[in-house]
């Protein structure tokens, strides 16, 4: 594999606090790779080390086959960055900000300001001061600045955090288009739907460690299958009541009911309903849905992503 | 138009500054207001008159009439109790007690620690002795001149320029940098191939634009309102202003090199500017401090700046005669800049 990024045994400590605890990763060129995990999992620390903004405590990091300690200028010119919530120059306009940043990439194959304004749908806002942009527009500008040097690797740290749903979807479309053009994209997020939608592969990190790695589909399959049934009954049933149910792979308690992982819903669902009939209980909640990375995280850690 | 990054960063800085009305006021308007306020408060009011009291009693009216002949004396006859009160309150500087019996001495009652009381004593004595028939053996002719650049406002304006440049370096540049660090803008810039020195130099380049405007506006205003003139070379004054602002910018950069938030920066800036405002002779001469402190005070960049600029502006001295203050300014500029760049934190 022609790796864009290679991380081996990465460790970052702040005093007694271990932010990254022996991380290994490889990201291929042209891949959209997601670092997933709750707040404080070490995602931002990892990305900032990859961006050359933080020095690791231990381990090796290679970006585009190079090391930060040896070739910082060369690397900075070849990557693009959108930090978590970048604040830019308040009283410069969108266009002025783009032109300013473009001068930093002089002599390199930088994208034209006009192209970026159009691609990021910022044309109408070109003469607006940065301080007067909405959250979504500001984030699009941040991504535009990340793209301005026509980077080989683009890092996006929680690009849609704090955005309204419409702005999120607009930014997703942009990132999907970059991926389609063959750019290597590394993004961090604590939104599972974002990772599923955008990423070829994801690594789930928790407490600075990698706890799962694969395509979203693989991870979902490993954690118990793609189809889930959420069920509560009146009166409540014990878990043993579902033993031997056709197509049942796993069962776990959720609230006052269960989540059942099943294969082939067209087989398992009729069998389940027949079983409820035999027992003479009435379902108060019966939902069949597709598993998400949220379910993966829950299965791996016993915690949901947002409970921190 | 695309120039180099240094030019682009400097142009961005100037644009942002012009778009911030508050910054414009504090940089250009505020020193003018201080000039007006202090220029009016400390204007020269002509020769002051001595307020003299004559104690009532025999001969008081004659004494008062003799004294009143002098245009420099304002005289009143009062009873002993009121006279004492007025002397205590400083309303009169000297009390004349005429003798109760002929041949007994005149009494001058005054506080010798007051310079104006001593002057009044000489004046009163001379007038009374002459009135009694004393003849001066020498003939005297007074020629009065007003020394150029000797008024308070003449002295004040160079110091105000120093204050203005120091404030610009601190609140304009240093605070701005810390703010950018707090907002992670420095980190964002550090992630680009921008040469980091370009960012720091852009503050100096924009200074090259603002400092001449500040010098021009302040001196033009002071000239139009109070007739303050630059007696030395205006080019030398401008060169000094640029050197001074470089020196202060180094201090500002040092303040800004590590502070993580604007509260810390605020404290650091006050820690550096307030002592210099007091010690370095902005509003009153630093010669008022004890002699033992003078060598240390002269080593402060603000003192050096004020000293050199006042010699050039008020005394018409050549900039090349100001070796010591120039060396102090260059020394501060170099040491602070080098140290600041070494310990500067981008993240």
Q: Which of B131, B160, B189 is the last residue in one of the domains? A: B131
B272 in Cβ contact with B170 (< 8 Å): yes
Whether CATH 3.30.70 fits A224-290: yes
Indicate the number of domains in chain B. Answer: 2
Which positions in chain B touch A73 (Cβ < 8 Å)? Answer: 193
Of A138, A128, A184, the closest CA to residue A161 belongs to A138
Same domain, B202 and B227: yes
Percent pLDDT > 70 in chain B is 97
Same domain, B111 and B218: no
CATH number of the domain encompassing residue B75: 3.40.190.10
Nearest neighbour of B12 by CB, restricted to A51, A73, A96: A96
Nearest neighbour of A91 by CB, restricted to B19, B183, B191: B19
Same domain, B208 and B334: yes
Q: Do domains A3-220 and A224-290 have the same CATH topology?
A: no
What is residue A261's DSSP assignment?
E
Closest CA–CA distance from residue A46 to any residue of chain B (Å) = 15
Question: Rounded to whole angstroms, how far apart are CA atoms A18 and A93?
Answer: 40
Are A104 and B192 in contact (CB < 8 Å)?
A: yes
For chain A, the domains span: 3-220, 224-290
Q: Which of B131, B159, B193 is the last residue in one of the domains? A: B131
Same domain, B76 and B172: no
What's the ipTM?
Answer: 0.85
Same domain, B100 and B248: no
Whether CATH 3.40.309.10 fits A3-220: no
pLDDT tens string, chain A, 308 residues long: the values are 578 999 999 999 998 899 999 999 999 999 999 999 888 889 999 999 999 999 999 999 999 999 999 989 899 999 999 998 878 999 999 999 999 999 999 877 778 899 999 988 899 999 999 999 998 899 999 999 999 999 999 999 998 888 888 888 888 998 998 888 888 999 998 888 888 889 999 999 999 999 999 998 888 888 777 788 899 988 888 888 888 888 888 888 888 888 888 888 888 888 888 888 888 888 899 898 888 888 888 888 877 765 54
Closest CA–CA distance from residue A49 to any residue of chain B (Å) = 11
Are A96 and B15 in contact (CB < 8 Å)?
A: yes
Question: Rounded to whole angstroms, how far apart are CA atoms B211 and B200?
Answer: 17
Same domain, B224 and B288: yes
Closest CA–CA distance from residue B346 to any residue of chain A (Å) = 9
What is the pTM (predicted TM-score) of this model?
A: 0.80
The three-state secondary structure class of A106 is coil
Are B192 and A53 in contact (CB < 8 Å)?
A: no
Q: At what angle do helices A94-103 and A135-147 cross, to 10 degrees?
A: 20
Q: Domain for residue B280, yes or no?
A: yes
Same domain, B254 and B155: yes
Question: Rounded to whole angstroms, how far apart are CA atoms B217 and B236?
Answer: 16
Are A87 and B185 in contact (CB < 8 Å)?
A: yes
Contacts of A46 (CB under 8 A, 6+ apart): A7, A10, A12, A20, A23, A35, A188, A205
Same domain, B164 and B120: no
From the candidates A68, A104, A110, A113, which should be mutated to test the interface with B, based on the most B CB atoms within 10 A?
A104
Low-confidence ranges of chain B (pLDDT < 70): 1-3, 44-47, 146-149
Domain residues for the domain of B206 are: 13-42+151-343
- Provide the pLDDT for residue B153: 87
């Amino acid at each position: 594999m022609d790796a864009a990024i290679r991380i081996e045994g990465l460790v970052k400590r702040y005093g007694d606090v271990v932010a990254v605890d022996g991380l290994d990763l490889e990201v291929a060129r042209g891949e959209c790779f997601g670092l997933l995990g709750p707040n404080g999992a070490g995602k931002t620390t990892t990305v900032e080390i990859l961006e050359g903004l933080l020095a690791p405590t231990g381990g090796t990091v290679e970006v585009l086959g190079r090391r930060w300690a040896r070739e910082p200028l060369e690397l900075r010119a070849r990557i693009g960055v959108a930090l978590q919530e970048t604040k830019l120059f308040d009283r410069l306009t969108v266009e002025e900000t783009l032109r300013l940043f473009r001068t930093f990439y002089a002599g390199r194959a930088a994208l034209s300001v006009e192209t970026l304004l159009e691609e990021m749908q910022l044309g109408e806002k070109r003469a607006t001061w940065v301080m007067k942009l909405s959250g979504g527009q500001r984030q699009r500008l941040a991504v535009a600045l990340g793209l301005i040097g026509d980077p080989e690797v683009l890092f996006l740290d929680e690009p849609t955090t704090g955005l309204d749903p419409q702005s999120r979807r607009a930014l997703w479309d942009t990132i999907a288009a970059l991926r389609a053009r063959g750019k290597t994209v590394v993004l961090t997020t604590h939104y599972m739907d974002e990772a599923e939608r955008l990423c070829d592969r994801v690594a789930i990190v928790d407490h600075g460690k990698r706890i799962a790695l694969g395509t979203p589909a693989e991870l979902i399959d490993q954690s118990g299958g793609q189809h889930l049934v959420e069920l509560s009954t009146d009166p409540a049933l014990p878990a043993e009541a579902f033993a031997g149910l056709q197509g049942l792979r796993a069962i776990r308690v959720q609230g006052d009911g269960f989540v059942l992982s099943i294969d082939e819903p067209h087989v398992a669902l009729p069998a389940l309903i027949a079983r409820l009939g035999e027992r003479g209980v009435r379902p108060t909640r019966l939902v069949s849905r597709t598993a998400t990375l949220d379910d993966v995280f829950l299965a791996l850690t016993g915690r949901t992503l947002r409970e921190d | 138009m695309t120039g180099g990054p240094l030019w682009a960063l400097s142009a961005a800085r100037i644009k942002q500054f012009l778009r911030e009305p508050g910054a414009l006021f504090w940089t250009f308007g505020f020193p003018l207001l201080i000039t007006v306020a202090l220029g009016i408060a400390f204007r020269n009011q002509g020769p002051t008159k001595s307020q003299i009291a004559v104690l009532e009693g025999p001969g008081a009216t004659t004494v008062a009439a003799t004294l009143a002949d002098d245009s420099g004396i304002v005289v009143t006859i009062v009873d002993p109790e009121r006279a004492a009160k007025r002397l205590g309150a400083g309303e009169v500087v000297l009390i004349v007690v005429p003798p109760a019996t002929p041949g007994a001495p005149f009494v001058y009652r005054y506080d010798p620690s007051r310079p104006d009381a001593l002057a009044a004593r000489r004046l009163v004595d001379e007038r009374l002795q002459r009135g009694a028939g004393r003849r001066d053996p020498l003939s005297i002719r007074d020629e009065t001149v007003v020394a150029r650049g000797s008024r308070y406002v003449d002295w004040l304006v160079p110091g105000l320029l120093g204050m203005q440049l120091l404030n610009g370096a601190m609140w304009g540049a240093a605070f701005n940098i810390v703010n950018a660090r707090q907002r992670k803008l420095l980190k964002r810039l550090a992630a680009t191939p921008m040469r980091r020195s370009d960012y720091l130099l852009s503050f100096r380049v924009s200074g090259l634009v603002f400092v001449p405007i500040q010098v021009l506006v302040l001196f033009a205003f002071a000239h139009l309102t109070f007739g303050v003139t630059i007696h030395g070379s205006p080019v030398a004054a401008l060169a000094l202003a640029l050197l001074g602002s470089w020196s202060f910018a180094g201090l500002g950069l040092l303040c800004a090199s590590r502070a993580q938030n604007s509260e810390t920066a605020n404290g650091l800036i006050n820690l550096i500017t307030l002592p210099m405002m007091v010690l370095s002779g902005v509003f009153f001469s630093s010669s008022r401090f004890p002699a033992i402190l003078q060598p240390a005070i002269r080593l402060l960049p603000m003192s050096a700046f004020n000293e050199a600029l006042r010699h050039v502006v008020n005394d018409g001295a050549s900039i090349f005669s100001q070796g010591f203050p120039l060396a102090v300014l260059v020394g501060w500029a170099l040491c602070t800049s080098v140290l600041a760049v070494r310990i500067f934190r981008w993240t």
